[in-house]
Amino acid sequence: MTGTHGPLNAFLDLRQMPVAHAELGPLAGLRLAVKDIYDVAGYRTGCGNPGKFADSNAASRTAPAVQMILDAGARFIGKTQTDELAFALFGQNSHFPFPVNPAAPDRVTGGSSSGSAAAVAGRLADIATGSDTGGSIRAPASFCGLIGLRATHGRIPLDGTMKLAPSFDTFGWFADDIETYETVGKLLLGRDPHHHPLDRPLTLGWLDEMVARPALAEYAGMKALAASVFGPMATPTSRFTASPDELYWCFRRLQAREAWAVHGQWITSGERGLGPGVEERFGFGRAVDDRTAQSEKVRRLTFRGELSALLGRDGFLVLPTVPGPAPYVDSTPEQFQAYRERALHLLCLAGLSGFPQITVPVGSVAGAPFGLSLLGPSGSDIALIRLGRKLLDAARKA
């Protein structure tokens, strides 16, 4: 692995080899980019780390979820950059030139699906695969003005994929038009097991309070747009047993502990040169003890039950995807960390529950994209995509 190529640093500089795809199908003629945590037959899977790339062998088969897209006619055009071991949120892998955000070049793309988001936003690809463990579909989609769904956990197979935190890991993809997005969704997801219509929009005040001040006015307009499409939003009086901060730490501890369980042995078996922040996050996971993990697992189950009861059969949450537009590329470490913590307070709900969440590009702040999210009950993924379509249609007409 020698670096990246192309104007946006989105694609890895790898020797291109033919990858079989169907000539006919609903995605025929569309270009597919694949995040470098997914196996593609004939290619090594580098996972954003040169040591991992050197240790790996060429994959003998393509990850099944990726293969489904190829079998529908999409044409593979290359592997895209990922944050190191997919354990970061801003798309700044210390081993490679950072991908460029085509929608806001002075701001980050978001990670860990950084190259994939840059490729689609820059019109270098029509579809790009990503993954979402802590927000790696939703944050880059919001930052780059794309559509991104975190699917119901376990609904799309992750065979042939680098694991990060298995009870949180999900397959995802980017597109910049809803027609393509829904076509891919139907292929990967089939019919929703959740059959009841989603027609009861909900809002929670503490989620709205996570929006940073520069984005407040735009967010109010986005919520007004949603109310014009879906009807008035109810504000439930019931509260979760856990506070927002407790949910944030529950996610952080469980995700990091699982990440250490998956990668810790490899990390400690040699000099891995992990980049700033990544090494610290793995170290944090190493320090989470059994008693703490068990307590957080109980908290997670309680929250999942409470969120399920809140949504019922017909409810969905309307919430900001992240606190505002992407941070600037030259933000200080302290500024990045403050944004990360605020963002994860929002992003952790879908991860802890396993419920689906879609972000759609209906806002902008200072010329930079800002996404609005819809979070629904388990198994309501296609329903959320269709609600997202209504929101995008209304935004275009506004």
Element (H, E) at 171: strand 171-175
Quick one: CA dihedral 350, 382, 101, 133, positive or negative?
positive
Asked if residues 92 and 83 have their Cβ atoms less than 8 Å apart, the reply is: yes
Contacts 24+ apart (CB under 8 A), 278-287: 278/83, 278/84, 278/85, 278/87, 278/88, 281/87, 281/88, 281/256, 282/87, 282/256, 284/252, 284/256, 285/253, 285/255, 285/256, 285/257, 285/258, 285/259, 285/260, 285/261, 286/260
Type of residue numbered 224: A
What whole-number distance in Å separates Cα of residue 59 and Cα of residue 62?
7
Catalytic residue among 112, 116, 353, 380: 112
Q: Comparing C-alpha atoms, which of 223, 241, 225, 392 is closest to residue 317?
A: 223
Q: How far apart are CA 41 and CA 44, in angstroms?
A: 8
Listed in sequence order, the DSSP H helices in 56-191 are 64-71, 114-121, 138-144, 178-189
What gap in Å lies between CA 361 and CA 103, rounded to an integer? Answer: 11
| Known active-site residue 295 | no
Give dist(CA 354, CA 7) in Å, integer.
Answer: 36
Burial class of residue 29 (count of CB atoms within 10 Å of its CB; 0-12, 13-18, 19+): exposed
112 catalytic, yes or no?
yes
Q: Which of 319, 354, 322 is nearest to 340 (CA)?
A: 322
Residue of 113, 116, 136, 353 with catalytic role: 136
Per the structure block, which two tokens stand in for 261? Answer: 């369980």
**Please, what is the angle between helix 244-268 and helix 290-311, to 10°?**
130
> Rounded distance, CA 21 to CA 71, Å?
6
> Alpha-carbon dihedral of residues 186, 189, 195, 201, nearest 10 degrees?
-80
- Contact at 8 Å (CB) between 19 and 40? yes
Residues with a catalytic annotation lie at 35, 112, 136
